[in-house]
Protein backbone atom coordinates (compact mmCIF):
# COMPACT_ATOMS: atom_id res chain seq x y z
CA UNK A 1 0.00 0.00 0.00
CA UNK A 2 2.76 2.41 0.95
CA UNK A 3 4.60 1.56 -2.28
CA UNK A 4 1.47 2.36 -4.34
CA UNK A 5 1.20 5.80 -2.75
CA UNK A 6 4.89 6.43 -3.42
CA UNK A 7 4.51 5.49 -7.10
CA UNK A 8 1.58 7.88 -7.53
CA UNK A 9 3.43 10.85 -6.04
CA UNK A 10 4.27 13.55 -8.55
CA UNK A 11 7.97 13.61 -9.43
CA UNK A 12 8.57 17.36 -9.33
CA UNK A 13 12.03 18.52 -10.26
CA UNK A 14 13.65 21.00 -7.95
CA UNK A 15 14.47 24.42 -9.37
CA UNK A 16 18.16 23.50 -9.22
CA UNK A 17 17.60 20.34 -11.22
CA UNK A 18 15.64 22.29 -13.82
CA UNK A 19 18.36 24.94 -14.06
CA UNK A 20 21.08 22.30 -14.49
CA UNK A 21 19.09 20.59 -17.25
CA UNK A 22 18.34 23.90 -18.97
CA UNK A 23 21.99 24.89 -18.69
CA UNK A 24 23.10 21.74 -20.50
CA UNK A 25 20.39 21.93 -23.17
CA UNK A 26 21.08 25.57 -24.00
CA UNK A 27 24.86 25.24 -23.75
CA UNK A 28 24.67 22.42 -26.31
CA UNK A 29 22.31 24.44 -28.54
CA UNK A 30 24.71 27.39 -28.23
CA UNK A 31 27.59 25.21 -29.36
CA UNK A 32 25.50 24.08 -32.36
CA UNK A 33 24.54 27.70 -33.13
CA UNK A 34 28.18 28.83 -32.95
CA UNK A 35 29.35 25.92 -35.08
CA UNK A 36 26.72 26.51 -37.77
CA UNK A 37 27.37 30.29 -37.73
CA UNK A 38 31.08 29.66 -38.20
CA UNK A 39 30.41 27.12 -40.94
CA UNK A 40 28.25 29.66 -42.80
CA UNK A 41 30.49 32.71 -42.32
CA UNK A 42 33.92 31.07 -42.62
CA UNK A 43 32.97 28.12 -44.80
CA UNK A 44 34.67 25.44 -42.71
CA UNK A 45 34.01 23.56 -39.51
CA UNK A 46 35.66 25.15 -36.47
CA UNK A 47 35.45 23.70 -33.00
CA UNK A 48 33.68 26.40 -31.06
CA UNK A 49 33.77 27.05 -27.37
CA UNK A 50 36.22 26.88 -24.55
CA UNK A 51 35.66 23.30 -23.43
CA UNK A 52 36.63 20.01 -25.04
CA UNK A 53 33.04 18.81 -25.16
CA UNK A 54 30.31 20.10 -27.50
CA UNK A 55 29.10 22.76 -25.12
CA UNK A 56 29.37 26.56 -24.84
CA UNK A 57 28.77 27.43 -21.18
CA UNK A 58 28.21 31.11 -22.01
CA UNK A 59 24.94 30.10 -23.72
CA UNK A 60 23.86 27.92 -20.81
CA UNK A 61 24.54 30.67 -18.27
CA UNK A 62 23.09 33.31 -20.60
CA UNK A 63 19.88 31.32 -20.99
CA UNK A 64 19.51 30.93 -17.23
CA UNK A 65 20.24 34.63 -16.73
CA UNK A 66 17.65 35.53 -19.36
CA UNK A 67 15.03 33.21 -17.86
CA UNK A 68 15.56 34.78 -14.45
CA UNK A 69 15.51 38.32 -15.93
CA UNK A 70 12.32 37.81 -17.92
CA UNK A 71 10.49 35.59 -15.45
CA UNK A 72 8.05 38.35 -14.45
CA UNK A 73 7.78 40.15 -17.83
CA UNK A 74 4.49 39.24 -19.48
CA UNK A 75 3.32 39.89 -23.02
CA UNK A 76 5.21 42.92 -24.29
CA UNK A 77 7.65 41.74 -26.97
CA UNK A 78 9.45 45.07 -27.20
CA UNK A 79 10.19 45.08 -23.46
CA UNK A 80 11.42 41.50 -23.70
CA UNK A 81 13.55 42.48 -26.70
CA UNK A 82 15.16 45.37 -24.80
CA UNK A 83 15.76 43.32 -21.66
CA UNK A 84 17.19 40.44 -23.71
CA UNK A 85 19.40 42.82 -25.66
CA UNK A 86 20.71 44.51 -22.50
CA UNK A 87 21.11 41.33 -20.43
CA UNK A 88 22.90 39.37 -23.18
CA UNK A 89 25.09 42.33 -24.18
CA UNK A 90 26.16 43.05 -20.60
CA UNK A 91 26.78 39.38 -20.02
CA UNK A 92 28.78 39.06 -23.25
CA UNK A 93 30.82 42.17 -22.36
CA UNK A 94 31.61 40.96 -18.83
CA UNK A 95 32.48 37.41 -19.94
CA UNK A 96 34.70 38.76 -22.73
CA UNK A 97 36.55 40.93 -20.23
CA UNK A 98 36.97 38.09 -17.70
CA UNK A 99 38.17 35.61 -20.34
CA UNK A 100 40.71 38.12 -21.62
CA UNK A 101 41.95 38.90 -18.10
CA UNK A 102 42.28 35.23 -17.15
CA UNK A 103 43.60 33.78 -20.42
CA UNK A 104 45.11 36.85 -22.07
CA UNK A 105 43.12 35.94 -25.17
CA UNK A 106 40.05 37.31 -26.94
CA UNK A 107 37.42 34.71 -27.70
CA UNK A 108 35.49 37.03 -30.01
CA UNK A 109 36.18 40.46 -31.45
CA UNK A 110 33.59 42.81 -32.91
CA UNK A 111 36.10 45.63 -33.55
CA UNK A 112 35.15 45.73 -37.23
CA UNK A 113 31.43 45.92 -36.45
CA UNK A 114 29.51 49.21 -36.47
CA UNK A 115 28.97 50.75 -33.02
CA UNK A 116 31.01 48.28 -30.99
CA UNK A 117 32.27 48.75 -27.45
CA UNK A 118 35.91 47.72 -27.15
CA UNK A 119 35.20 44.98 -29.71
CA UNK A 120 33.41 43.03 -26.96
CA UNK A 121 29.84 43.84 -28.02
CA UNK A 122 28.34 45.47 -31.09
CA UNK A 123 25.02 46.97 -32.06
CA UNK A 124 24.37 44.27 -34.67
CA UNK A 125 24.96 41.40 -32.23
CA UNK A 126 23.10 43.20 -29.43
CA UNK A 127 20.05 43.48 -31.70
CA UNK A 128 20.47 39.81 -32.64
CA UNK A 129 20.66 38.87 -28.92
CA UNK A 130 17.48 40.87 -28.28
CA UNK A 131 15.63 39.03 -31.05
CA UNK A 132 17.02 35.68 -29.94
CA UNK A 133 15.92 36.54 -26.39
CA UNK A 134 12.31 37.08 -27.47
CA UNK A 135 12.27 33.91 -29.58
CA UNK A 136 13.92 32.07 -26.70
CA UNK A 137 11.40 33.01 -24.00
CA UNK A 138 8.36 32.84 -26.30
CA UNK A 139 9.08 29.69 -28.32
CA UNK A 140 12.28 27.80 -27.55
CA UNK A 141 12.11 27.61 -23.75
CA UNK A 142 8.38 26.78 -23.54
CA UNK A 143 8.96 23.96 -26.05
CA UNK A 144 11.83 22.47 -24.04
CA UNK A 145 10.06 23.07 -20.73
CA UNK A 146 7.01 21.12 -21.93
CA UNK A 147 9.09 18.26 -23.38
CA UNK A 148 11.33 18.21 -20.32
CA UNK A 149 8.40 17.95 -17.92
CA UNK A 150 6.93 15.00 -19.84
CA UNK A 151 10.27 13.23 -20.11
CA UNK A 152 11.44 13.85 -16.55
CA UNK A 153 8.19 12.56 -15.08
CA UNK A 154 9.15 9.15 -16.50
CA UNK A 155 12.60 9.03 -14.91
CA UNK A 156 12.94 8.07 -11.24
CA UNK A 157 14.23 11.02 -9.25
CA UNK A 158 17.24 9.10 -7.88
CA UNK A 159 18.41 8.16 -11.39
CA UNK A 160 17.91 11.73 -12.58
CA UNK A 161 19.95 13.03 -9.64
CA UNK A 162 22.77 10.59 -10.47
CA UNK A 163 22.74 11.55 -14.18
CA UNK A 164 22.74 15.28 -13.38
CA UNK A 165 25.58 14.76 -10.90
CA UNK A 166 27.59 12.97 -13.59
CA UNK A 167 26.95 15.86 -16.01
CA UNK A 168 28.03 18.46 -13.45
CA UNK A 169 31.16 16.49 -12.53
CA UNK A 170 31.87 15.97 -16.24
CA UNK A 171 31.70 19.66 -17.05
CA UNK A 172 33.81 20.39 -13.96
CA UNK A 173 36.52 18.00 -15.15
CA UNK A 174 36.26 19.37 -18.70
CA UNK A 175 36.63 22.91 -17.34
CA UNK A 176 39.73 21.99 -15.32
CA UNK A 177 41.41 20.30 -18.29
CA UNK A 178 40.43 23.17 -20.59
CA UNK A 179 41.91 25.74 -18.21
CA UNK A 180 45.11 23.68 -17.96
CA UNK A 181 45.26 23.55 -21.76
CA UNK A 182 44.81 27.32 -22.17
CA UNK A 183 47.14 28.49 -19.42
CA UNK A 184 49.74 25.88 -20.31
CA UNK A 185 50.28 24.09 -17.01
- What would the pLDDT profile of 121-151 be if each residue is shown by its tens digit? 999 999 999 999 999 999 999 998 988 888 8
Q: How confident is the model at residue 89 (pLDDT cuts 50, 70, 90)?
A: very high
More confident residue, 112 or 105: 112
- Least Cα distance to 18 among 129, 151, 133 occurs for 151
Q: 31 to each of 38, 68, 123, 169, how far by Cα in Å? A: 10, 21, 22, 19
Domain extent listing, the chain: 9-183
Summary mean pLDDT of the chain: 87
Rounded Cα gap, residues 133 and 130, in angstroms: 5
Instruction: Check: CB of residue 99 under 8 Å from CB of residue 26.
Output: no
Write out the DSSP string of 95-164: HHHHHHHHHS--S---TTSTTEETTTEEHHHHHHHHHHHHHIIIIIHHHHHHHHHHHHTTS-HHHHHHHH
Is the pLDDT score of 9 beyond 50? no
More confident residue, 170 or 181: 170
Instruction: Check: CB of residue 19 under 8 Å from CB of residue 167.
Output: no
- Least Cα distance to 19 among 27, 10, 8 occurs for 27
Alpha carbon dihedral 152, 158, 160, 164, in 10-degree steps, equals 150
Residue 11 confidence (pLDDT): 63
- Least Cα distance to 35 among 21, 53, 23 occurs for 53
Mean pLDDT for 37-52 is 84
Amino acid sequence: MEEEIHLKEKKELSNWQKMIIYFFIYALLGWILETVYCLITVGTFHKRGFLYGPICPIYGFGAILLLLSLKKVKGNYFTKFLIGMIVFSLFEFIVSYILEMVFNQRWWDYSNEFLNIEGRVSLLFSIAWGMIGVIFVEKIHPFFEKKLTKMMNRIPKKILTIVLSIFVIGIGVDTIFSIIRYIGI
